[in-house]
Structure 1
Amino acid sequence: MTDATFPPAAEAEARPVRFRGGGFRPSSPRWVGALVFVVLIAFLEWGTRAGFISNLTMPRPSDVFATLVDLARSGMLWTHLVPSLTRLLVGGAIGAFVGIAVGVMIGLFSVVRAGLVPLVAALFPIPKIALLPLFVIWFGIDEASKYALIAFGTFTPTVVATYGAVDNVDRTLIRMGQSFSLSWSTIVLRIVLPGAMPGILSGLRVSLAIAIILLVAAEMLGAEYGIGAYILQAGSLYDLERLFAGVAILSLLGVLMSGTIGVIEKRLLGWRA
């Protein structure tokens, strides 16, 4: 066998190895997501104008947009949006903070895990909306019951995501820290929490989406102002333009919250690049 069969060592080293999927670092142009929304809205506009889609079941997107503009001009948009944002931020922040703290404790301490994992497993599958009347009895029909419902609905998925993320931290890194005689607190702060952060943030995406759902349910039961109350009023009058305007606000709120989590991920997880 001649030496020509094998490439020179220098040539082999200079030839880069390309990973499939861009090195497992997914990236896509930002305009693709916006294009999907534009195409969908354009299709609905065309379908409702051409009669392909009945106006009794789907309003024209242009009419929904005009309703949103009227809401903003009249000031009613902020009248309904500000209470909803306050409830969402307060309840979601309480649930997320307590959920992350409890999840980290479950992941780090065996006694806490043995005591709380069965409790969390029992609470997690309970439909949180079904507990709304109970929260009203406990906390009253004012803001406290809405905060409590949103916090509880955010708490359980955050706990599950957090202690699962702590469990998935590479044990080799922890043993390496122990071999360098790092203290327990240093290992937790420098190895465990950074390693668990991707899973925690992914869990927060789900938890905050659940918080929006519970926000609407709470406002439909006992609130004069809020996006949920606005949607309920529009639905009772069969005003599809107002109803879909409220749904559009909720969708935009979800997109903004997901984008906020994305920004936090870029800030905190830049070490993964």
Structure 2
Amino acid sequence: MAETGRLTRTAAPASPMGAVTLLRIAIVLITLLVWEVLARSGWLYRDVVPSLLSIGAALVDLLSTPEYYRHLAVTSGEIAVAMAIGGVAGMVVGLALGANRFLSKAYESFLYYLGPTPKIIFFPIMIMWFGVGPGSKIALGTLSCFFPVALSVAAGMREIDKVLIRVGRSFRANTWQMVMKIYLPAMRHPIINGLRIGFGVALIGTLLAETKLSNQGIGFLIIQAYAIFDMPRMYANLIVLFVLAIGVNALIGKAGGIESVRRS
């Protein structure tokens, strides 16, 4: 009986998820309250911080306009193509650098130097190469996406368990089989993290390009609203982008199983 008492399992601590959810809700409510106080205080220039009611009305008007969805489709298409090209190119380069020490020493430093560089400085070159249409916006988004994916994959390659690589080689797996059966499954988390960061910077790069030279897309609508000082409409566009970015980021995380791993 004494031994049984010693082996009695202690109760598991209560999950903190409820407290975390309440804290998140509190942060959102406090932020909205501070925003509304600033809007009604008159401390800032008129309409720089519009009321939540005026932003909500602008958001409803925006989403009820069929023309808006054409602009949304243009921006979404540009970002999707940029992610596809930049993501694939980044994975290929990352695999090559991570697998070959000579290539890594010769070229990876260039990626580290160019990666933090604001990609908007290359936009004039993109215009000369791809014109003023969607091509230059896609090119800038691709360039923005490429670097975080390549660097993340290259770093992930060096963290793969050497036993897995030896097993693949012992089965005489060719390069394609090693990539598909060993490298990519073992680097799921670095790849997903790289794609998450790549999506964020591709979104920023594409929108910046649309604000500079475009007559369509969400970036164009934002700069147009800013030009006529329609602040509620500008913030409404930003809210839509914010919600879509969160949704896509969550989908990328779910695709890699990161959220489920963190909660297990």
Work out whether the TM-score is over 0.5. yes
Which residue number corresponds to residue 94 of structure 1?
A: 85
Residues 103 and 162 of structure 1 are in contact (CA less than 8 Å); yes or no, is this contact kept in structure 2? yes
Structure 2 unaligned residues grouped into runs of 5+:
none
Which residue number corresponds to residue 36 of structure 2?
A: 45
Which residue number corresponds to residue 124 of structure 2?
A: 133
Percent identity over the alignment? Answer: 26
Query: Which of 89, 99, 103 lines up with 2:94 in the alignment?
Result: 103
The amino acid of 1:193's aligned partner reads: L
Which residue number corresponds to residue 3 of structure 1?
A: none
2-structure distance, mates of 1:251, 1:60? 18
SS at match of 2:236: helix
Query: Which of 246, 260, 264 lines up with 1:255 in the alignment?
Result: 246
2-structure distance, mates of 1:245, 1:173? 50
What is the correspondence of 1:1-273 to structure 2 with a 5 Å cutoff? 8=3, 15=9, 33=24, 36-49=27-40, 51=42, 55-171=46-162, 173-174=164-165, 177=167, 181-184=170-173, 188-266=179-257, 273=264
CA RMSD of aligned residues (A): 3.3
TM-score under structure 1 normalisation? 0.80
Residues 38 and 49 of structure 2 are in contact (CA less than 8 Å); yes or no, is this contact kept in structure 1? no
Post-superposition offset of 1:115: 4.0
1-structure distance, mates of 2:146, 2:60? 36
1-structure distance, mates of 2:256, 2:24? 19
The amino acid of 2:35's aligned partner reads: L
Post-superposition offset of 1:114: 3.8
1-structure distance, mates of 2:58, 2:224? 15
TM-score under structure 2 normalisation? 0.83
The amino acid of 2:32's aligned partner reads: I
Greater shift, 101-110 or 184-193, is seen at: 184-193
The amino acid of 2:51's aligned partner reads: R
2-structure distance, mates of 1:123, 1:84? 25
Number of corresponding residues? 260
